[in-house]
Amino acid sequence: MTQNATGARAERLAEEFLLRHGLVLVERNFRCRMGEIDLILRDRDTLVFAEVRLRSARDFGGAAASVDRAKQARVSAAARHYLACMRERPCRFDVLVLDRLDPEAIEWIKDAFAA
């Protein structure tokens, strides 16, 4: 499986996980010149920008540590671009960590960082 196919599979597993937990998919793979957001979902009245990270090795802190300040800034900028034409609503940034392609091993970090 190629890296892109593996990443797409990880995003699909994370999406299915979040849908099972009651979130509603709004958009997947939103791209703009500032960056990309893997999944945009609605959790009741809150808009959730979800970053999915798959890392097979735990070197350098594993998947969660890969969402560094630079990655957070890109996701935040893309979220601001997405929200520019919408009415104001609560939002949060979640991170879903997978150390392998296994839906039972997903770690969901709600409100992982602030914009």
For 55-100, write each residue's pLDDT tens digit: 765 554 555 566 678 888 888 899 998 888 788 889 999 999 988 8
Q: What is the CATH number of the domain that holds 27?
A: 3.40.1350.10
Per-residue model confidence (pLDDT) at position 63: 54
For 22-41, write each residue's pLDDT tens digit: 999 999 999 999 899 999 99
Per-residue model confidence (pLDDT) at position 33: 92
Tell me if the pTM is above 0.75.
yes
Q: Number of structural domains, the chain?
A: 1
Residues 6+ apart with CB under 8 A from 8: none
Asked whether the predicted pLDDT for residue 46 surpasses 90, the reply is: yes
Mapped onto helix, strand or coil, the DSSP state of residue 114 is coil
Q: Which range of residues forms the domain containing residue 21?
A: 3-113
Residues 6+ apart with CB under 8 A from 77: 34, 35
